[in-house]
Every structure is written in structure tokens, then in C-alpha cells.
């Protein structure tokens, strides 16, 4: 009932509903999604009729998506990044003009928006439209809103839910479970024993008699024997 009421209020205020839904960029883009950022396709050829409008990206939680009133003249700092998500369930960022999203899209040009890429203004309340790192995995929903001054003139549909990457628990990483850990310990022990055997064999090979002094021949007086030859005397020839 409430979304229908918001739609009727938007229509009453002359707010155009555009049949465009923001989407994540294709999977071949590096860093398409991280623990605090995600990358959207630019809304090319969507706001051609709104050349004087400021076009904002609305980032919201589930509660913010349901409660966000397009016709309520959203402004700063009520919808600031620094208040999200504790004191507000949505914020406006990445303000641009229609010519930034000109049509047609340039050939071979990557036209994307990285949400959450600014760190220097995350705590600076004087920059309420900071494109700061997202505070958690989400999920989040986004849409584009065109404002003439503070008057909303057009809005797109909400995107699908966007959930960021999260750090994996140690138990979920291969090789860190109990069974895997025991196997790794056994393998390490076996490799250590084999290494010791190989090292011993190498030392035995390199340790020659000259190098280690083992088995070297030294004359010993007790082991030497002297032999005196027997003199053979000529015997007279036998007499016949």
C-alpha cells in the first residue's frame, strides 16, 4: 500500500518514472565487487530529456528503499553519507549532469561508476555527498534521481539487491580444517625425515677418505715383516 501511495504522490508532483534499472558492470571488469565497493554501468541515453537537471545516485538499505520518498525534495545533509546507515537508511552521491551520461555511448570506452571509492571524505560532514566506502556487505539497492534544484523531476527503477564480498572464515579455507591440518602435519613430518635421509646420504658421498681421514694408509712398524732370503750355495757337480 505504501509504495502505491508514494507512486501516486510522485505522479501528482510531476515526477517522471523512467523504465531503467541500474545494473552491475559485466564480470570481466577488475574489482567489479569488493568488500566496500561495487561498479555500476553508467545510465547512458537515459536522461537525454533532462539537460538542466542534477543526476544523483541513491544508495539505500532495504528499509531505505521502502521509505525513500522521491517527491519529498531530498537534500543534504539529511541524506548524507556520514549519517548512513545509523541515522538514515539512504544517501545521495555521485552527482552529475546529463552530458556526463551522453548518448550514444563511445565505442570501446568503459563507462562505469564505482560506488564507495572515496576514503578521504568518509568522515567529513562538510562533504555530505561523499562517495565513501560502504559500511558492510549489505545488501544495497540503488537508483538514479534527477533534481532541478531541489525539485525531483525523474527517477529510475531500483536495482536488484547488491551484496558485497565478505572475508571467509578460517574454517572455510581449504587446508585449515582439522582433518586437513592433521594430514598436513603428517606430510610435513614425512618430508622432514626424507630430507634428513637425503642429507645423510649426501654427506656420506662427499666424505671421501682424503677429506674425512677414514681408512687412510699409514705404514706401521708392527705390521711390517722383514724376510731374509736364504742363500743358495753352489753345490759341486755330481761325480760320475
Binned at pLDDT 50, 70 and 90, residue 185 comes out as confident
Cell numbers given for 104: 550514444
Most distant CA pair in the chain, distance: 166
Q: What is the pTM of this model?
A: 0.65
The DSSP element (H or E) to which 210 belongs, if any, is helix 209-212
* pLDDT attached to residue 169: 54
The residues facing 154 across adjacent strands are 16, 146
Is the pLDDT at 160 greater than 60? The verdict is: yes
3-state DSSP of 87-121 = CCCEEEEEEEEHHHHCCCCCCCCCCEEEECCCCCC
* Structural domains present in the chain: 2-166 (2.60.40.10)
C-alpha cell at 237: 757337480
Distance CA 26, CA 32 (A): 8
Amino acid at each position: 500500500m505504501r509504495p502505491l501511495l508514494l507512486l501516486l504522490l510522485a505522479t501528482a508532483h510531476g515526477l517522471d518514472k523512467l523504465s531503467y534499472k541500474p545494473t552491475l558492470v559485466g564480470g570481466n571488469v577488475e574489482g567489479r565487487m569488493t568488500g566496500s565497493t561495487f561498479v555500476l554501468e553508467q545510465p547512458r541515453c537515459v536522461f537525454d530529456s533532462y539537460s538542466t537537471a542534477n543526476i544523483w545516485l541513491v544508495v539505500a538499505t532495504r528499509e531505505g528503499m521502502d521509505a525513500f520518498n522521491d517527491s519529498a525534495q531530498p537534500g543534504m545533509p539529511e541524506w548524507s553519507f556520514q549519517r548512513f546507515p545509523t541515522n538514515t537508511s539512504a544517501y545521495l552521491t555521485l552527482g552529475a549532469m546529463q552530458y556526463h551520461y551522453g548518448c550514444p555511448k563511445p565505442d570501446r570506452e568503459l563507462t562505469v561508476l564505482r560506488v564507495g571509492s572515496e576514503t578521504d571524505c568518509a568522515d567529513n560532514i562538510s562533504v555530505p555527498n561523499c562517495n565513501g566506502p560502504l559500511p558492510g556487505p549489505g545488501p544495497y539497492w540503488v537508483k538514479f534521481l534527477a533534481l532541478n534544484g531541489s525539485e525531483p523531476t525523474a527517477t529510475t527503477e531500483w536495482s536488484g539487491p547488491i551484496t558485497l564480498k565478505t572475508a571467509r572464515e578460517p574454517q572455510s579455507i581449504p587446508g585449515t580444517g582439522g582433518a586437513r591440518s592433521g594430514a598436513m602435519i603428517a606430510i610435513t613430518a614425512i618430508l622432514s625425515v626424507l630430507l634428513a635421509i637425503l642429507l645423510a646420504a649426501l654427506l656420506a658421498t662427499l666424505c671421501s677418505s682424503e677429506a674425512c681421514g677414514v681408512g687412510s694408509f699409514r705404514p706401521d712398524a708392527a705390521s711390517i715383516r722383514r724376510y731374509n732370503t736364504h742363500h743358495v750355495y753352489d753345490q759341486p757337480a755330481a761325480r760320475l
